[in-house]
Amino acid sequence: MTNQIRIKQVALYAVTMRLISPFKTSLATIEDRNLTIIKVTDQDGVSGWGECVAFDTPWYTEETQTTCLYMMKQFLIPLLMQNSFTHPADVADRFRVVRKNPMAKAGLEAAVWDLYGQRIHKPLASMIGGTRAKIDAGISIGLQQSESDLIETIDIAVKAGYKRVKIKINRDVPLSLFDRIRTVFPSLPLIVDANAAFSLGDIHYLQALAPYNLLMIEQPLATDSFVDYARLQAKLATPICLDETIQSLTDAINALEIGACRVINIKPARVGGLTEAIQIHDYCYKRQIPVWCGGMLESGVSRALNIALASLPNFTIPGDISSSSRYWQADITSRPVEVSDGQIEVPLDGSGLGFDIDENRLKHHTVAMEIVSS
Ligand code: OSB
Ligand code: MG
Cα-Cα end-to-end distance for the chain: 20
- Residues 37-42 have a mean pLDDT of 98
Pocket test for ligand 1, best of 34, 193, 299, 344 (most atoms within 8 A of CB): 193
Pocket test for ligand 1, best of 296, 299, 326, 337 (most atoms within 8 A of CB): 296
Share of the chain above pLDDT 90, in %: 99
Question: Cα–Cα distances in Å, from 331 out to 71, 168, 230, 325, 360?
Answer: 27, 24, 40, 8, 11
| Residue 232 pLDDT grade (very low, low, confident, very high; cuts 50, 70, 90) | very high
* List 105, 163, 166, 168, catalytic entry: 168
Ligand 1 atom showing the smallest separation from residue 326 Cα:
15
The predicted structure's pLDDT at residue 164: 98
Q: How far is the CA of 221 from the centre of ligand 1 (A)?
A: 16
Pocket test for ligand 1, best of 140, 263, 299, 339 (most atoms within 8 A of CB): 140
Nearest CA to ligand 1 atom 7: 296
- Residues 89-134: pLDDT tens digits? 999 999 999 999 999 999 999 999 999 999 999 999 999 999 999 9
Q: How far is the CA of 143 from the centre of ligand 1 (A)?
A: 12
pLDDT surpasses 80 at 7: yes
Q: How far is the CA of 42 from the centre of ligand 1 (A)?
A: 33
Share of the chain above pLDDT 70, in %: 100
* List 100, 134, 267, 363, catalytic entry: 267
- Residues 338-363: pLDDT tens digits? 999 999 999 999 999 999 999 999 99
pLDDT surpasses 90 at 228: yes
Rg of the chain over all Cα atoms, to the nearest angstrom: 20
267 as an active site residue: the answer is yes
Q: What is the DSSP code (8-state) at residue 290?
A: -
Show the DSSP H helices in 235-346 as ranges: 249-257, 274-286, 300-309, 324-327
The predicted structure's pLDDT at residue 26: 85
What number of CA atoms fall less than 13 Å from residue 58's CA on the CB side?
8
Closest ligand by atom to 322 CA? 1
Pairing of strands 263-266, 240-242: parallel
Q: How far is the CA of 260 from the centre of ligand 2 (A)?
A: 16
Residue 120: partners with Cβ closer than 8 Å, 6 or more residues away? 127, 351
pLDDT surpasses 80 at 1: no
- Residues 11-36: pLDDT tens digits? 999 999 999 999 999 899 999 999 99
pLDDT surpasses 80 at 263: yes
pLDDT surpasses 90 at 205: yes
pLDDT surpasses 80 at 372: yes
Question: Cα–Cα distances in Å, from 329 out to 9, 21, 240?
Answer: 31, 10, 34
Ligand 1 shell residues, CB under 6 Å = 60, 140, 193, 195, 243, 294-297, 320, 322
The Cα–Cα gap between 276 and 307 comes to: 16
- Residues 161-171: pLDDT tens digits? 999 999 999 99
Q: How far is the CA of 127 from the centre of ligand 1 (A)?
A: 26
Return the number of other C-beta atoms located less than 10 Å from residue 286's C-beta.
Answer: 9
Phi, psi angle pair for 172, to nearest 5° = -85, -5
Nearest to 281 by CA among 320, 309, 308: 309
- Residues 318-343 have a mean pLDDT of 98
The predicted structure's pLDDT at residue 16: 98
What are the strands of the beta sheet with 165-168, ordered from one edge? Answer: 139-141, 165-168, 190-193, 216-218, 240-242, 263-266, 291-293
Residue 280: partners with Cβ closer than 8 Å, 6 or more residues away? 246, 249, 252, 264, 266, 271, 291
39 as an active site residue: the answer is no
The predicted structure's pLDDT at residue 141: 98
The letter for the amino acid at 63 is E
The predicted structure's pLDDT at residue 2: 81
Please give the mean pLDDT across all residues of the chain.
98
- Residues 139-149 have a mean pLDDT of 98
- Residues 70-89 have a mean pLDDT of 98
pLDDT surpasses 90 at 142: yes
